[in-house]
Chains A and B, each alone.
Chain A
């Protein structure tokens, strides 16, 4: 909870001054509105991966992950999970509608929705971790298309592999912006522990 609050305050530009009266209540109300408007959905799948000269191949799929960043990130991983989550269109609608009548509140809602998406993504990663056999383990921080030199151009394939449109209603624009807006796509590397 404290972490969530800290993150929210960071997003809305809090820089250490005393919290104004009523703000905590407003944040709590905004959070509850976002929870009501959201329909969090997620999808993930684990694939074997193997390094090739041009990049990291995600087996059984068309996906080749190229660039130095992803190679470094997946170093030593024999598997990777592809995951996507979205808070749904209701959140976008709520924020856009509030911007018209109450901008300060819209800003709080927007911040809460970002946090909510982040927490959902973390939960998905935990679920992935739990699903693994004892011999496997995720490598911590997730890695999203667009990080480092991993191009966003892989997004269409990434979403198709997860059937994200049909399964969770996640789409992207021609410029690879995810829609609904509060959505996250990422990879999580999975290491196989060396046999004792």
Chain B
């Protein structure tokens, strides 16, 4: 590509601000500046011309916010006109300018990734049709939105794609993405140049630019503001003069930046000064290449795998886990998310996510749980599947640079998985097995790894993005193979310089005291140079081994973490029998379950329920303890003797008790009280009230299907139909979204569904409830439970 060759030995000059130029020429604030492309093209071209005359190589078309959310059916025409205005200036090149859509993406917002992609795709096609020479995606603060735009550009045009994000004085974007994460992830998304723009002046952007230069080999772009704006008589004023701006541009170029221009508050004078100053200086084009880094990211966080142990949490994998299997089948996201959160709290660096169950549509479920987990946990994820379609679906919606687990040395696997990793940008785990199975010797596994490496390189996947899994076999079945795996780790690191990963839990399968064997194997593997271990981070022996190894490996500088965690641990407790403590708890509590629950001691509830299960049937515990406690606490809450956090503490304790009971209860027993559907209606993203209602209803033994927030009416009505729901609770916090309740209820009634509706939420009143056609108004969560009692004829 010509432009990219040019960039190898030249600085590319962009233009400066457009919006600030328009405002200074009298555009009313609040208007959509892109409309001027049609209304007053002469004015727009005149501004572009000033920049061209000032020496800009590229002018940026006035299309920043030209998307369908703002311009509706005029989108295409406005973009066509915008590109035409830019080209009429006689500039060497025209960039199609793409800014944020103006609505926040899920999970924090309501715009879906697919809708964002579609909106961007329309802009990309229009820009390419009109003759843009490149795509500039800029001022992004959400990495996810940037990904949607980049994918749209790459799938709907053949143009070079530049992408820049905007960082505040705290070094993060508004959505919390740091420069390291942005540089690594944007590079992996396959952009041709990346960088930073807007928000700060060039001096303040210097350290951020340095981070970009460290973490990408691609050309880096900087378009700063003319300083920080301040307000003068209702107008933003920028202080950095053209001369000062140019001096900073020279320093940036000397550090390795290849593309410079300006953002808000910069004028043709700034660009003229920049170009003159940069061309006067001698710039070295041999950019010092930083050592490549192996790293995965989420949308806001990076985990580097170099020179340290990385813990990959294995708990979100249904193999052999009945509770998780049930959760996946029932779409019980709350359980899945709590597994994710507890692994993070136990110190996992990355979470493995697997949704492989024979009766589950993995292609639909895997991306959905990836989305949900990314909404709650900031850790990078490892997409774990053997189904290429599911891997692609998950890669597409993933925010950041994930790990794909896995490709094997089988040709079919290599041919399908590696192109996906390249396209979406991912680290990939390569299993050292091929058409003949797992090689018995370390040398055989080395050869398999070598093949994976060479195939990956054919697709342009760099070696630092490959992790080799040397495969752990069980000591009970293939004892001699355990040492061979360790030898393979050493050999592969030594011969190929690749990172290694092992699923360590396997080794102890079929033997007693599994944590003991597992943790000793882990220590040996770390000693052999293992980089990442897939394990249960909540397992204390694993955790201790990792913590101790981090001291030995000098990762834990001054053994600070180790000391903090273990200073109070007595040597005796390390040697104590593992089961010593637990039985005493249940004995001492005896019949005190009600007290534990009333006092909201969630940490003890599980243990006490477990003890009680020896004497009582699960349903007796529910009816004899849980519900009377809830009634009592609820009554005191209603009287004002207790308040919401206390009620919730009791609810949380009962929930912990229920988790224990679930194991002992049959599906039919659990379903007997009735199934209730809950949703926060479309357009509304406030769901804490609904989540509290869910908790209380579950406490009373109802099965709750929670559709989440921002749920379209048709999804709710479909679910009522499919699951034969008899009671549906709708929540809304905003007056503007209350009407969505009416839409749901009317459409369910129109379809003749026999379902009652209860509604709740901050703005709801009896009167509103009647207005939207609801059967019941639930003023709080306890009222919701009372209503459920009425509908299902149970006792309350």
Contacts and interface: CB of A to CB of B under 8 A. Distances in A.
A193 B496 CA distance: 79
B204 interface: no
A107 B685 contact: no
Contacts, number: 163
Contacts of A107: 644-645, 648, 688, 692
Contact of B170 (A13, A39, A89, A102): A39
A140 interface: no
A14 B141 contact: no
Contact of B176 (A89, A100, A176): A89
B688 A177 contact: no
Contacts of A51: none
Contact of B683 (A39, A47, A167, A173): A173
Nearest to B335: A100
B652 A173 contact: no
Interface string B329-357: 00000100110111001000000000000
Interface stretch (B254-262, B311-319, B635-643): B635-643
A60 B25 CA distance: 12
Interface stretch (A15-23, A66-74, A115-123, A184-192): A15-23
The bracket for how many chain B residues form the interface is 35 or more
Given A146-B735, A166-B139, A168-B174, A93 B691 contact: no
A51 to B, nearest CB: 19
Contact of B341 (A26, A97, A146, A175): A97
A173 B685 contact: yes
A171 B104 contact: yes
Given A13-B644, A179-B109, A160 B29 contact: yes
A75 interface: no
A17 B642 contact: yes
Contacts of B691: 99, 103, 106
Interface in A34-52: 39, 41, 44-47
Contacts of A85: none
Contact of A173 (B31, B109, B234, B644): B109
A61 B174 contact: no
A17 B639 CA distance: 10
Contacts of A15: 640, 643
B646 A20 contact: yes
A104 B633 CA distance: 15
B651 to A, nearest CB: 7
A154 B661 CA distance: 52
A96 B375 contact: yes
B377 to A, nearest CB: 7
A50 to B, nearest CB: 14
Contacts of B236: 163
A45 B107 CA distance: 31
A101 B342 contact: yes
Nearest to A45: B234
B695 interface: yes
Contacts of A46: 233-234
A180 B102 contact: no
Nearest to A131: B231
Interface string B20-50: 0000000011111000000000000000000
A191 B100 CA distance: 37
A67 B104 CA distance: 29
B108 A89 contact: yes
B247 interface: no
B198 interface: yes
Contacts of B377: 97
A103 B174 contact: no
Contact of B337 (A61, A62, A100, A161): A100
B648 A104 contact: yes
Contact of B29 (A12, A14, A161, A169): A161
Nearest to B683: A175
Given A60-B29, A61-B30, A175-B684, A169 B642 contact: no
A106 B30 CA distance: 37
B102 A169 contact: no
B649 A179 contact: no
Interface string A108-145: 10100000000000000000000000000000000000
A62 B737 contact: no
Nearest to A169: B174
B613 interface: no
Contacts of B340: 100
Nearest to B682: A175
A78 to B, nearest CB: 13
Nearest to B640: A15
B108 A93 contact: yes
Contact of B645 (A12, A99, A177): A12
B734 interface: yes
A85 B170 CA distance: 17
Given A45-B231, A93-B176, A173-B110, A106 B688 contact: yes
A49 to B, nearest CB: 11
Interface in A146-181: 146, 152, 156-158, 160-161, 163, 165-169, 171-177, 179-181
Given A166-B264, A169-B174, 20 more contacts: A39-B174, A60-B29, A62-B31, A92-B108, A103-B648, A103-B652, A103-B692, A104-B652, A107-B645, A107-B688, A158-B30, A160-B29, A160-B30, A165-B100, A169-B173, A173-B109, A173-B685, A175-B682, A175-B683, A179-B109
Interface of B: 28-32, 69-70, 100, 102-104, 107-111, 139, 141, 166, 168, 170, 172-176, 198-199, 229, 231, 233-234, 236, 264, 334, 337-338, 340-342, 345, 375-378, 600, 640-646, 648-649, 651-652, 682-686, 688, 691-692, 695, 710, 734-737
25 contacts: A12-B643, A12-B645, A15-B643, A17-B641, A89-B108, A96-B107, A99-B688, A100-B338, A100-B340, A100-B341, A103-B648, A103-B652, A103-B691, A104-B644, A106-B688, A107-B644, A107-B648, A146-B736, A157-B30, A160-B31, A165-B100, A169-B141, A173-B110, A173-B111, A175-B683
| The 9 residue pairs across chains A and B that have the minimum distance between CB atoms | A169-B174, A175-B683, A15-B640, A62-B30, A104-B648, A157-B30, A13-B644, A161-B30, A61-B29
